Structure formats: C-alpha cells, structure tokens
Amino acid sequence: ERIGRLTKVALAVAVNLRTFLRLQPHSNGKVCLDLPNIGIRRVWDVARLQLQDTSFLEQGDASAPTAELVEKLKEVAAFPKDCANPERAAVLAFLYLYLCICRKQRTLPSLDIRVWSELPTGAGLGSSAAYSVCVASALLTACEEIPNPLKDGEPASRWTVEDLELINKWAFQGERVIHGNPSGVDNAVSVWGGALRYQQGKISLLKRLPALRILLTNTKVPRSTKALVAGVRSRLLKFPEIVAPVLTSIDAISLECERMLGEMVAAPAPEHYLVLEELIDMNQHHLNALGVGHASLDQLCQVTMAHGLHSKLTGAGGGGCGITLLRPDLEQSVVEAVKQALSSCGFDCWETSIGAPGISVHSAASLDAPVRQALDGL
C-alpha cells in the first residue's frame, strides 16, 4: 500500500485490542510517565521543565517536528546513556505533546500518566498511534482545550467530531516524533475507529462496517518497515511490467473488499464470507510476489488452512502479524484448536474483532478488573 501511495487504495480497520490511559492531576510539582508494557517510568520536575527554553516548540502547532527539534527534546528529557530507541521514542512523543499542549497554561501542570495496552508493541499493529492518540486526548482534556464529554453515571462517551479532529492533529504530531514520516493512517484509525480508506494521502471514513471476528497472530519475527518498502520499490524499478500489475491487482482487491463490506452491513450472508476468504488468499499471494512475505507467515497460513480458515499478513509483512477471518458459523472448538496450533508454533494469538470504536473516555467503574488493576499498578 505504501509503494502505491500515488493512486492505490488501502483499507485500514480498527482492531478491538485497546490502549488505556489514566491521567491523575497532582500538586506535587512532578510529571510522571508510567509505561508498564515496556518497563518505563520517568519523572520530571515541573519547575525544571518550566525553566527549560522551549521556544523551539513555537512552530510545533502546524509543521512537522524536525530532527533538530527531536534532538532538543532529548536534552530536555535527560536520557540515561543506555536508554533503548523505542523507549526513547515513546518518552519523546509524550514530552513533545505535554510541552506543546500544556505550555498555553500559566504553569505546566503536575500529573501522573499511566498507559497500558492490550496491543503488542513493535508488531506493526499501530500501538504507537494508539499511544499518541491517548496522550493527546488526555492532555487536551486536562488543559481544557477540549471538554470532557463523560457525563455523571455514563460508562463511556466520545468527543465531538471537531474535538476528535484536534486530537487527531496532535496525535499525528506525536506519531511524527516517533516515526519521522508516517502516513497518518494509524492515528486516524485510532481516533475514528471503524474502517478507513486511504488513497493519494487522503483518508476517508467508511460509513458502516459489519461486525467481523478475527484471529490476530503475532509471529514475533521482527521486521523493518523501511527495508521492506525499499525492497518493493527496487523490485518495481527492476521489473516494472511485472510488479505494476501486481500493485494494480492489490488495488482491485481493496476495492472489491470495500464493496463486499458495504453489502454485508445490511444482511451478511455465507457467500459474502466465501468472497472475503478468496480475496484474503489472493491478497496474500500478491504480497508474497512483492517480496514482503516470510516463512513464518506461510506457516501461519498453512496452519489455519488445515482447519479451513484463511489468513493474510497485516502491516508491513516480513514477519510481524497476520489476520485470520472467523466465519460466524464456526464452532468454538475449531477456533480453540487453531489457537492451540498457532501457539505451538511459538506465535501469540488473540481472538478479537475489527471495526471497533475509536478513542473514548471511560468511567473507571466501566472498565474490566484486569484493565483497572493494570492502570492502578497492582
């Protein structure tokens, strides 16, 4: 999808594995960021941050965070020498959003932020975007740039379209700090939920989506999106007559899939699922032809196919994650057998659904006990 950014259509869908953030205001003069999934806890003195020259953030509202700005943020963050890169990126994105959004206040606020996610990190599932969206919405709400939409007694609520657009704008800036030059699709999916269509840098929401159950499998094979994209680009340059039609076919698969999902909203029928399964198979073979497959993903497809289920890679490929469509008539015993088989390959597997809602604010009481415990640090 990235290579064909010029004209090709990509569909991006929200997966129902959620990232939670708890913000607690304080008067202790400290800002604390706690990220238990990646084992990070950082505390800064508000007074020290207040004294820092943050005039370099002035242009932060509209333009992309530059490499120079990120270097300055590193000085403000005061990293220990042995801090690993992904961890730095999460901390820098937080600091960037905190300083940019909260500097309009007379004094920077003291607060505790704890983020806990059901999404695996670094698996190409957009965990950094979900994180940026949570941080942006929490800080904008805490600094009263947007109102808290949750009314007393409600379990959950969502912001207005206008407020969601502001959240999305800031979350994209956070993503830029982490990734440099992201497409903006991941943060948009996290904000709006449901499904999005991406073409020529334009993102539009799909009106409605049928409820689809999937297995999401992490092969745990690390990959570099940058290297995979470069590989496809060089293959396209080397064999334009071969690779360009493959990209055109993938585009046609996206469009057919979009049409099928539209039909399924009104009345999903068994034949719709058969078509989706064929599209999944064709898409996976095309992605292999582009060189973004991996032996682990082939294994995933074979294991699920042995149980009559259809899978494809998701994200950049070259390892990472795959999705398997679960038909509504599927016996739970089959699902359990497939999960067991995938686990014995050394993969992590989640049974979930796609087309989930985007960013929401929840009352503490409405959260499941494991989520509450994770956010309370128990």
Q: Give catalytic status of residue 128 as yes or no.
A: yes
Do 221 and 319 contact (CB within 8 A), yes or no?
yes
Which tokens go with 107?
């004094």
Local structure of 1: helix, strand or coil: coil
Q: What is the β-pairing status of strands 30-35 and 40-45?
A: antiparallel
Task: Tell me the torsion sign for CA atoms 188, 190, 194, 198.
Answer: positive
Nearest to 257 by CA among 83, 10, 56: 10
- Cα distances from 66 to residues 57, 100, 156, in angstroms, run 10, 14, 36
Do 353 and 211 contact (CB within 8 A), yes or no?
yes
Which of 137, 163, 183, 186 is flagged as catalytic?
Answer: 186
- Cα distances from 184 to residues 181, 198, 212, 223, in angstroms, run 9, 10, 24, 20
Which tokens go with 152?
């007393």
Using a 10 angstrom Cβ sphere, with 0-12 exposed, 13-18 middle and 19 or more buried, the burial of residue 56 is middle
Which of 127, 128, 132, 190 is flagged as catalytic?
Answer: 128
Q: Give catalytic status of residue 249 as yes or no.
A: no
Q: Who contacts 296 (Cβ-Cβ below 8 Å, separation ≥6)? A: 219, 221, 319, 345, 347
Do 167 and 131 contact (CB within 8 A), yes or no?
no
Per-residue buried b or exposed e for 158-176, using 16+ beta carbons within 10 Å of the residue's own CB: bbeeebbebbbbbbbbbbb
Nearest to 96 by CA among 142, 141, 147, 132: 132
Local structure of 57: helix, strand or coil: helix
Q: Who contacts 148 (Cβ-Cβ below 8 Å, separation ≥6)? A: 141, 361
Do 200 and 5 contact (CB within 8 A), yes or no?
yes
Supply the residues annotated as catalytic: 128, 186
